[in-house]
A and B are shown apart, each in its own frame.
Chain A
Amino acid sequence: DSGVTQTPKHLITATGQRVTLRCSPRSGDLSVYWYQQSLDQGLQFLIQYYNGEERAKGNILERFSAQQFPDLHSELNLSSLELGDSALYFCASSYPGAGETQYFGPGTRLLVL
């Protein structure tokens, strides 16, 4: 158990819909990272937040957005969903220093029908 929690574990929705994925980082961690893992793309970095502020962006679509709240939990919002958005979505958290090792949550499996 990494200490990072993600909800929900599974999500099934239809094309065109909007969903919100939630991540609670390990106690004390300030950074949250979101990753997408699909069958054909592997693990892809989406976005990073540090203490409430966006720090880095990766391959995140304009239909996707995220935020980190004052209590440091984070939400990833996916809108106008397409079949290709079906994937595993992981968040990770880290604390500054000593390499800033990232610890990953168990993921949310999203299926868009």
Chain B
Amino acid sequence: DAKTTQPPSMDCAEGRAANLPCNHSTISGNEYVYWYRQIHSQGPQYIIHGLKNNETNEMASLIITEDRKSSTLILPHATLRDTAVYYCIVRVEGNDMRFGAGTRLTVKP
């Protein structure tokens, strides 16, 4: 599975959109982009995933560039409860998840 690069940390003001970038320049055509987050030591929580098209659900939006070499997770109105480590993972369907260090997002009042 392709390797991803994320900034180690980011801050965001409460109520603002949080935009978390991820680079995956070696992604293959059959690899999906997944985003998970982990709050404290809880189990990783699934947020969203996509293959080629942009995706939106009740939690977030996922923007994938046309060449698929990078993506952005958007939390439209960040709250204090969105403070967590966010993981971007690229993976072939059915394979295990290879977690990196992720981005530690801190939402500030």
Contact = CB atoms under 8 A, between A and B. Distances in A.
Nearest to A47: B96
Interface string A33-51: 1010100001111001000
B42 A103 contact: no
**Max count, chain B CB within 10 A of own CB: residue among A31, A58, A94, A100:** A100
Contacts of A78: none
B67 interface: no
Going nearest first, the 8 A-B pairs with the smallest beta carbon separation are A104-B43, A43-B99, A45-B96, A104-B44, A100-B94, A100-B93, A99-B32, A106-B43
Contacts of B95: 56
B43 A42 contact: no
A23 B36 CA distance: 20
B86 interface: no
Interface of B: 32, 34, 36, 41-46, 49, 51, 87, 93-101
A102 interface: yes
Contacts of A56: 95-96
23 contacts: A2-B43, A2-B46, A4-B43, A31-B94, A42-B99, A42-B100, A42-B101, A43-B44, A44-B99, A56-B95, A58-B96, A88-B41, A92-B97, A94-B94, A99-B49, A99-B93, A100-B93, A100-B94, A101-B34, A101-B49, A102-B97, A104-B46, A106-B42
B46 A90 contact: no
Bin chain A's interface residue count: 20 to 34
Contacts of B45: 2, 104
Contacts of A35: 97, 99
A46 to B, nearest CB: 9
Interface in A84-113: 88, 90, 92, 94, 96, 99-107, 109
B90 to A, nearest CB: 12
**Could you say which of B34, B44, B98, B100 has the most chain A C-beta atoms within 10 Å of its C-beta?**
B44
Given A2-B46, A101-B34, A104-B45, 19 more contacts: A2-B43, A2-B45, A42-B99, A43-B44, A43-B87, A43-B97, A44-B99, A45-B97, A45-B98, A88-B41, A90-B43, A99-B34, A99-B49, A100-B93, A101-B49, A104-B36, A104-B44, A107-B42, A109-B41
